[in-house]
Each structure stands twice: as C-alpha cells, then as structure tokens.
Amino acid sequence: MKHGIYYAYWESEWTADYKYYVEKVARLGFDILEIGVGPIADYSQTEIKELRKCADDNGIILTGGYGPTFNHNMGSSDSKIKAEALDWYKQTFDVMGELDMHWLGGALYSYWPVDFSTVNKPEDWKYSVEGVRELADAAKPYGIDLGMEVINRFETHILNTSEEGVEFVKEVDKDNVKVMLDTFHMNIEEVSIGDAIRHAGNLLGHLHTGECNRMVPGKGRMPWREIGDALQDIKYDGNVVMEPFVRMGGQVGSDIKIWRDISRGASEEELDADAKRSVEFQRYMLDWR
C-alpha cells in the first residue's frame, strides 16, 4: 500500500502552495500528497512544472480530491451546467496529465454539499450515471481513475453506503471508475465497516482514513484492526490517504463543519508530529503484506 495525507489537514482554504506540503509530507514519511484540484486548471506552465519537479524530487505521488461546485455537477439535469462541468474537468485533466496524477476522487457524480430541498434520488441517480460515463471517457486518455466517494447522508443523498457505491459503479460500467470509501463516513452509515470494505472488493480504488472525530488515525475509536483485516481479505494494495480536519476557520472549517478547535491549539510542529505518528500507526495497522 501507499500511504498519504490530504493537504487541508494544515490549511483553512481549498487552495495552498502544494510544493510546501510535498516537501513536508516527504519529511514526515508519507508516500502521497492528496491535493485539491479546484485551482489547478488555472495554473501557469511554470506553476505546473515547478509542482511536478517538486513531487518528483521528493518521491511523492500526487493524487487529487474534489468536492464539485454546483456549476461542476456532472449529474445535473441542466445540459448547460453539465457542459460547463465537463469543460472544466477536461481542463483539469489536462493539468493532471502534466502533473503525472492518475487519481481523482470525491462526489464527482454530483456536487458538494448537496441542497437537500431539491433532491429526487432516482432521477438524480440516473443523471449522475450518465454524467459519470462522459467524465470517465474524458479521463481515460490521461490514465486517470475516478473515485466515486461514498459520503454520509448529511452531505449527499446519492451514495451513502458501500452497497450503493458498488451498484453505481457497476451501472456506470467504465473500467476507470472505482468505489472510494472513507472510514469517517462509513462510521456513520455502515452496520459493519469490515463488511462494507469486503463488499466493495476489487472495485475499491481508494481509501480515505480518519477517526470518527475527524482526527488523524490513532486518536479516536475507529476499529483499525477490523479495517486492516478486511483490506487483507480483499487483498487491497492501493492508496490509503488520511483526511483529518482539526482546525476551525476559513472555507475548509465552514464546509467541513468544524465548530471547535479539535486540535486544541496545536502548533504546526505539533500537527506534523501527530501526522508522523499516525502514518506509522496506519502502516502498522493496515499493511497486510
């Protein structure tokens, strides 16, 4: 397995100097930095080349995450919104190709967070399947796999469980579309986290980790041995990227609903130390080879 962390653990906005975090996570013992792809379509060639070189020089794999805006909703019934979304994704895939990035995950089948006053699940599901098929075809030439993140009921209505994620991916029927699970969301929705992982089986393309309190793995009550055993059962050998959120403030704190300082005033150095210990813990608990 390759182990990573999402840059927003340290940040309060959905953009950052990713080169800074590439160097940081390399020092802390990670294999992967997951970045938010929201801003990269607007990168200059200089910015792209500098980030690619920084990742190469530090031996860090870049993966992407995205919570689509309303205007980037590939599951929209509005053809204009869908066309705008597809155009934006194509620009983003161009940059991802230049950055040697081969994974993008999130609520790519819809937008995030959803306005629940307008939902119609059967109809939205149908449009989402159609949109993701188009998105998969656009991503294919770049060797990009797309992760359909299964998210809790308070943030989306389309994919809330591993069972729904598997059903959706099978219906899309594109080999570069995978199920993406997240321990935080599974803790809310699944009867058994281990069984949810086993149900995803070989369709599982990416795993997000974090405690039920959104802290780094090892600082909560998630059943890590159960999770590790399930990953062993399905012989999962992909990416495991922790996605902790512990700081209030900014757009990140607002969107993730961090209404108290979960870090308890931790300095950047203390956050670094927690991340370093956590990736060591995660390798111990989850690596089965």
- Average pLDDT of adjacent 10-residue blocks, the chain of 289 residues: 98 96 98 98 98 98 98 98 98 98 98 95 98 98 98 98 99 98 98 98 98 97 97 97 97 97 97 98 90
Give pLDDT, residue 211: 98
89 — alpha (psi -120 to 50), left (phi > 0) or beta? alpha
pLDDT of residue 241: 98
| CB of 70 closer than 8 Å to CB of 36 | no
In this predicted structure, what is the pLDDT of residue 131? 98
DSSP H/E element including 66: strand 61-66
What is the pLDDT, as a whole number, of residue 271? 98
Strand pairing report for 61-66 and 145-149: unpaired
pTM of the model: 0.97
What whole-number distance in Å separates Cα of residue 206 and Cα of residue 151?
14
User: What's the confidence (pLDDT) of residue 213?
Assistant: 95
What does the pLDDT read at residue 92? 98
Please name the residue that has the structure tokens 């309303």: 70
210, two tokens: 């974090």
The answer to whether 39 and 16 are in contact (CB under 8 A) is no
CA distance 240 to 208: 6
Helix axes 45-58, 18-28, angle to 10 degrees: 0
Q: Which residues are catalytic?
A: 149, 243
pLDDT tens digits, one per residue of 180-199: 999 999 999 999 999 999 99
What's the helix, strand, coil split of the chain in %, to 5?
Answer: 50, 15, 35
